[in-house]
Amino acid sequence: MKKISIQTIRGKKNKQPITCLTSYSKTIAEIVDKYCDIILVGDSVGMVLYGMKNTKKVTLNTMIAHAKSVRLGAKRSLVVVDMPYKTYTNKFVAYKNAKKVMKLTNCDAVKLEGGEKITNIIKHLIKNKIPVMGHIGLLPQSTKKFKVKGRSLIEKKKILKDAIAISDSGVFAIVIECVLESLAKIITKNVPIPTIGIGASKFCDGQILVIDDMLGLGDSAPKFVKKYANLNKVMKASVKNYVNDVKERRFPNLK
Ligand code: KIV
């Protein structure tokens, strides 16, 4: 089994769509690993598993714990771990924390949210051999309103500038979250590295979704998500059947 490298991901630009999903545990990572190029241990874990209203309270230790579990299940995919809010406030803090994540989880790269403002941090990590994935557009760690970005000309220009700035700083790929389709297309054409969209159109070089959303687990998936299963329904029915079997003494079956 050949492990997917950062070079493999870069090489897919303009050739093959890049496939990514989030995972927070070994069990899920084992499944995703068979099919996806990238597994993201996203700080969305705070909202998906811990009931937080945004990602701001997710800690570095929480990310490390979930990334360790994911690593156990991921043998082939590239594993990228989100650096949580306030863990990369300057290049020294960022390096200390990212180094800890890389060392304790054995992941392949970290992801940072932001554009022009964090280029010195990105450059410092890369100079110190920590591969970085970028994240622009809607930035869950700093946004107050979860709405599509890039509607005004000013915002459009800023997001494009951010994309070029972090690409020039050395990130190997960029997640583009919730921007207008036309903007995602322009960014994808103007950077030499792959763009990975979430609610950002088919014009990106790849796609990512939160796995719970696309599997129909929980009830907080954004509108743009295509549901490939309704696991809520399947799991409810299974639990109900089990409970009925126990109550009716059909399980365990001693015969
Ligand atoms: O935290 C996360 O899961 C993410 C994806 C939504 C891209 O950053």
Residue range 39-80, pLDDT digits in tens: 999 999 999 999 999 999 999 999 999 999 999 999 999 999
Here the tokens at position 56 are 């701001």
Per-residue pLDDT tens over the stretch 100-117 = 999 999 999 999 999 999
Beta bridge partners of 110: 81, 132
State yes or no: pLDDT of 134 exceeds 70. yes
Q: Which has the higher per-residue pLDDT, 175 or 147?
A: 175
State yes or no: pLDDT of 27 exceeds 80. yes
- Burial category of 124 from C-beta neighbours within 10 Å (exposed 0-12, middle 13-18, buried 19 and up): buried
How much is the pTM? 0.97
Question: Which of the residues 116, 155, 177, 181 is marked catalytic?
Answer: 177
DSSP 227: P
Task: Give the residue, by CA position, lying nearest to ligand 1 atom 5.
Answer: 42
**What is the whole-number distance in angstroms between the Cα of residue 146 and the centre of ligand 1?**
13
Q: How confident is the model at residue 201 (pLDDT cuts 50, 70, 90)?
A: very high
Mean pLDDT of the chain: 97
Per-residue pLDDT tens over the stretch 234-248 = 999 999 999 999 999
Round to whole Å and give the CA distance between 45 and 93.
22
Round to whole Å and give the CA distance between 159 and 154.
9
- Whether a cis peptide bond, with omega within 30° of 0, leads into 252 is yes
* Mutation test residue for ligand 1: of 63, 198, 220, the one with most atoms within 8 Å of CB: 198
Q: Note the pLDDT of residue 254.
A: 62
Distances (CA, A) of 138 to 150, 156, 236: 9, 12, 33
177 among known catalytic residues:
yes
- Burial category of 98 from C-beta neighbours within 10 Å (exposed 0-12, middle 13-18, buried 19 and up): buried
- Ligand 1, residue 44: give the atom nearest the CA: 1
**What is the whole-number distance in angstroms between the Cα of residue 43 and the centre of ligand 1?**
6
Q: Note the pLDDT of residue 219.
A: 85
Dihedral over Cα of 96, 108, 179, 122: its sign: positive
- Ligand 1, residue 20: give the atom nearest the CA: 7
Q: Do the beta carbons of residue 195 and residue 204 sit within 8 Å?
A: yes
**What is the whole-number distance in angstroms between the Cα of residue 236 and the centre of ligand 1?**
27
- Whole-number percent of the chain with pLDDT over 90: 95
- Ligand 1, residue 177: give the atom nearest the CA: 7
Q: How confident is the model at residue 255 (pLDDT cuts 50, 70, 90)?
A: low
* Mutation test residue for ligand 1: of 208, 212, 217, 224, the one with most atoms within 8 Å of CB: 208
Q: Note the pLDDT of residue 73.
A: 98
Using DSSP bridges, classify how beta strands 109-113 and 78-82 pair: parallel, antiparallel or unpaired.
parallel
- Burial category of 117 from C-beta neighbours within 10 Å (exposed 0-12, middle 13-18, buried 19 and up): exposed
State yes or no: pLDDT of 81 exceeds 80. yes
Nearest to 169 by CA among 229, 226, 127, 230: 127
**Ligand 1-lining residues (CB < 6 angstroms):** 22, 40, 42-44, 82, 175, 177, 198, 208, 210
- What is the average per-residue pLDDT within 84-91? 98
Task: Give the residue, by CA position, lying nearest to ligand 1 atom 4.
Answer: 42
Task: Give the residue, by CA position, lying nearest to ligand 1 atom 3.
Answer: 42
Q: Do the beta carbons of residue 151 and residue 159 sit within 8 Å?
A: no
Q: What is the CA radius of gyration of the chain?
A: 19
**What is the whole-number distance in angstroms between the Cα of residue 210 and the centre of ligand 1?**
7
- What is the average per-residue pLDDT within 130-151? 93
**What is the whole-number distance in angstroms between the Cα of residue 254 and the centre of ligand 1?**
47
Q: Note the pLDDT of residue 190.
A: 98
Q: What is the DSSP string of 78-134?
A: EEEEEPPTTS-SSHHHHHHHHHHHHHHH--SEEEEEBSGGGHHHHHHHHHTT--EEE
Task: Give the residue, by CA position, lying nearest to ligand 1 atom 8.
Answer: 42
Q: How confident is the model at residue 167 (pLDDT cuts 50, 70, 90)?
A: very high
Dihedral over Cα of 50, 56, 60, 61: its sign: negative
- What is the average per-residue pLDDT within 190-204? 97
